[in-house]
């Protein structure tokens, strides 16, 4: 029966394409972006059974006038973590469809680090039946590194059954480049199985170069989204990798990588967001926002559009996607023009799904009751004692943020003894206390250290979004406020909290894995903006996203130093360092830094 249905549909499409019968829908009077010749054609776009059947002059059972506008392929985000939107997949769809996004490739390693395979199942289940195509790359590093305490450990055996799912495209960002280039046995097994299944392997290797880069590419890693300089991107391109140019909420690399947005490089590059907060999705846009910014920075509009559609479709092997041509799926964006690049209409499978900034067919959030997803906090109540650190040495190793980047650096500072603050805390010098508390398995483990460059002058900020193991991370100027904020997050089953002078100022509950909520994008955005305003009143600068920035401070696979439940991590050596030490050692380390 199914084969006969497919055959009848094919015959209908052929007859409509030849003009023997009317197409179901024709978009008339616009220009068509031809991704193969990079030209604009004045032509109708004819659609039958969800597929494009002709470009030219056509009649349709339904016709829509798009005179003066441009038809291009639907946009594709080649690398995102849906969890970063803080909303369910259905709500995410409602946010991005009006921006022209018709497909995303998500790596659910955030929720998988919390709930293991239940997290992967949740994403696949919750995205089933949406207009938005949600493809999955299997989390390669759960946990991200050996020095991590996540809610689960996923080895090759756990991932193997998912390769038969048609929505699973490959193995997601291989974050453990340290282990990869050293041929770690467990990592090699994951890579080998992905290659055997003829699946794509994505990369994550900031700063890797020369022979280590050769080893990384030899391992089958085909892309990288961590480039922050043109020279780095060019070296990886020369070794055959595709470059994902990231422009998200926390990490924004587009400006530095603009030289890649032209020939001969652009055809091996694509735009991705990686992590995107709901406010950015609403006000800046999604892939369309990156395209507009690239054009403002000097990119050719046609090239930028291809980097947001055709090129990612080519990389991921998405047959029938990424072009406006006969035989391709009618996943289309109608743009105002090549100057403002305003998204006017969005079609998915030939159906109008968004128009003038509004999704027309919103889906309800639905999923099974995954216990590990919806009950993810297993820890004792948080108290001031959890943050005590007496600093026995005269100096401190401090994590120093890099503006606009995920990269950090190590600084040595004298242990401050400011009146009214815990040892080591000196808000005027930009030094606040930092802590990460284990929340998955009731171990009671914690890491306590110091952070510079966050801007906090008083109070505390806590969040259960702490990449990638998503333990409970807190920054503050007093142990009391840190305890208040952290305990509020624990009691909510996850979320973001701001506290000052012993009282809770604001809270956004995130009960889905401590990462997401079933609330609307508008509700989450409004609450986030309220919390951001509170954080700014406490000193966090306008140039820093107070929650996205804090969430990456515990990720031990991005240079150069991080704090997690194991302690202060040197990411290059993957070893734990003492936070506090004596003056003689401080002098030696200062000489090394210089």
Nearest Cα to 468, choosing from 552, 582, 546, 528? 552
Whole-number percent of the chain with pLDDT over 70: 98
Q: Which tens digits make up the pLDDT trace of 179-188?
A: 999 999 999 9
Q: Which tens digits make up the pLDDT trace of 20-61?
A: 999 999 999 999 999 999 999 999 999 999 999 999 999 999
CATH class label, 73-322 = alpha beta
Q: What is the mean pLDDT of residues 65-77?
A: 98
Q: Do domains 2-68 and 73-322 have the same CATH topology?
A: no
Contact 504, 484 (CB under 8 A): yes
* φ, ψ dihedrals at 515, nearest 5°: -125, -30
d(CA 197, CA 195): 5
Q: What is the mean pLDDT of residues 255-274?
A: 97
For residue 593, how many other CB atoms are within 10 A of its CB?
Answer: 9
Tokens read off for 345: 């209409």
Whole-number percent of the chain with pLDDT over 90: 87
Q: Which tens digits make up the pLDDT trace of 286-335?
A: 999 999 999 999 999 999 999 999 999 999 999 999 999 999 999 999 99
- What pLDDT does 591 receive? 52
As a three-state string, the secondary structure of 156-220 is HHHHHHHHHCCCEEEEEEECCHHHHCCCCHHHHHHHHHHHHCCCEEEECCCCCCHHHHHHHHHCC
Cα-Cα end-to-end distance for the chain: 74
Residue 169 pLDDT exceeds 50: yes
Q: What is the CATH number of domain 2-68?
A: 2.30.40.10
d(CA 394, CA 52): 70
Q: Helix, strand or coil for residue 344?
A: strand
> Max alpha carbon distance in the chain (Å)?
88
- What pLDDT does 585 receive? 65
Rounded to the nearest 10°, the torsion over CA 494, 499, 503, 507 is -40
Q: Helix, strand or coil for residue 389?
A: coil
121: DSSP letter: H
Bridge pairing between strands 408-414 and 395-401: antiparallel
Residue 250 pLDDT exceeds 80: no
Nearest Cα to 97, choosing from 351, 270, 453, 294? 351
Q: Tell me the pLDDT band of 594, cut-offs 50, 70 and 90.
A: very low
Q: What is the mean pLDDT of residues 365-384?
A: 92
Q: Which tens digits make up the pLDDT trace of 396-445?
A: 999 999 887 788 999 999 998 888 999 999 999 999 999 999 999 999 99
Residue 586 pLDDT exceeds 70: no
Considering the chain, what is the average pLDDT of its residues?
95
- What pLDDT does 590 receive? 53
Residue 584 pLDDT exceeds 90: no
- What pLDDT does 392 receive? 82
Residue 589 pLDDT exceeds 80: no
Residues of 549-567 as b/e, b for ≥16 C-beta within 10 angstroms?
bbbbbbbbbbbbbbbbbbb
Contact 311, 267 (CB under 8 A): yes
Nearest Cα to 141, choosing from 559, 521, 557? 557
Bridge pairing between strands 351-355 and 343-348: antiparallel
Q: Which tens digits make up the pLDDT trace of 188-245?
A: 999 999 999 999 999 999 999 999 999 999 999 999 999 999 999 999 999 999 999 9
Q: Where are the domains of the chain?
A: 2-68, 73-322, 375-593
Tokens read off for 543: 């140039």
For residue 507, how many other CB atoms are within 10 A of its CB?
Answer: 20
Residues of 218-256 as b/e, b for ≥16 C-beta within 10 angstroms?
ebbbebbbbbbeeebbbbbbebebbbbbbbbbbbbbbeb
């Amino acid at each position: 029966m199914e084969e006969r249905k497919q055959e009848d549909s094919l015959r209908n499409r052929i007859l409509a394409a030849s003009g023997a019968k009317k197409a179901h829908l024709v978009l008339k009077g616009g220009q068509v972006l031809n991704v193969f010749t990079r030209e604009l054609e004045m032509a109708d776009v004819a659609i039958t059974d969800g597929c494009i059947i002709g470009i030219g002059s056509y009649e349709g059972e339904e016709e829509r006038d798009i005179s003066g506008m441009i038809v291009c392929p639907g946009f594709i985000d080649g690398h995102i973590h849906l969890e970063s939107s803080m909303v369910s997949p259905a709500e995410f769809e409602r946010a991005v469809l009006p921006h022209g996004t018709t497909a995303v490739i998500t790596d659910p390693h955030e929720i998988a680090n919390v709930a293991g395979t239940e997290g992967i199942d949740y994403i696949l289940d919750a995205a089933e039946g949406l207009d938005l195509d949600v493809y999955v790359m299997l989390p390669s590093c759960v946990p991200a590194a050996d020095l991590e305490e996540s809610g689960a450990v996923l080895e090759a055996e756990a991932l193997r059954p998912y390769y038969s799912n048609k929505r699973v495209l490959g193995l997601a960002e291989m974050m453990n480049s340290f282990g990869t280039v050293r041929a770690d046995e467990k990592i090699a097994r994951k890579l080998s199985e992905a290659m055997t299944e003829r699946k794509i392997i994505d990369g994550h290797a900031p700063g890797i170069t020369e022979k280590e880069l050769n080893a990384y590419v030899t391992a089958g890693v085909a892309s990288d989204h961590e480039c922050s300089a043109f020279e780095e991107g060019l070296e990886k391109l020369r070794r055959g990798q595709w470059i994902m140019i990231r422009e998200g909420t926390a990490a924004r690399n587009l400006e530095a990588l603009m030289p890649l947005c032209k020939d001969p490089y652009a055809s091996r590059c694509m735009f991705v967001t990686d992590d995107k907060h709901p406010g950015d999705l609403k006000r800046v846009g999604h892939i369309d926002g990156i395209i507009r910014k690239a054009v403002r920075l000097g990119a050719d509009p046609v090239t930028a559009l291809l980097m947001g559609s055709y090129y990612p479709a080519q990389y991921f092997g998405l047959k029938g996607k990424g072009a406006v041509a006969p035989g391709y799926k009618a996943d289309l964006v109608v743009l105002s023009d090549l100057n403002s690049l305003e998204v006017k209409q969005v079609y998915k499978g030939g159906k109008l799904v968004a128009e003038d900034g509004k999704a027309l067919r919103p889906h309800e959030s639905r999923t099974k009751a995954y216990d590990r997803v919806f009950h993810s906090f297993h820890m004792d109540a948080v108290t001031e004692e959890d943050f005590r650190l007496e600093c026995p040495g005269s100096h401190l190793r401090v994590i120093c943020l890099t503006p606009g980047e995920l990269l950090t650096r190590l600084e040595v500072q004298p242990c401050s003894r400011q009146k009214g603050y815990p040892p080591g805390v000196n808000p005027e010098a930009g030094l606040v206390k930092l802590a990460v508390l284990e929340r998955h398995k009731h171990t009671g483990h914690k890491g306590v250290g110091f952070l510079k460059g966050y801007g906090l002058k008083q109070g505390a900020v806590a969040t259960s979004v702490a990449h990638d193991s998503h333990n409970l991370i807190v920054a503050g100027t007093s142990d009391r406020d840190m305890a208040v904020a952290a305990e509020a997050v624990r009691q909510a089953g996850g979320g973001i909290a701001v506290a000052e002078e012993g009282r809770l100022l604001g809270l956004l509950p995130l009960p889905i894995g401590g990462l997401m909520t079933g609330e609307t994008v508008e509700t989450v955005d409004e609450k986030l903006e309220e919390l951001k305003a509170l954080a700014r009143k406490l000193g966090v600068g306008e140039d820093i996203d107070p929650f996205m920035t804090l969430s990456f401070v515990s990720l031990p696979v991005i240079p150069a130093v991080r704090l997690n439940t194991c302690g202060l991590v040197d990411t290059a050596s993957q070893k734990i360092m003492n936070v506090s030490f004596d003056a003689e050692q401080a002098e030696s380390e200062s000489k090394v830094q210089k």
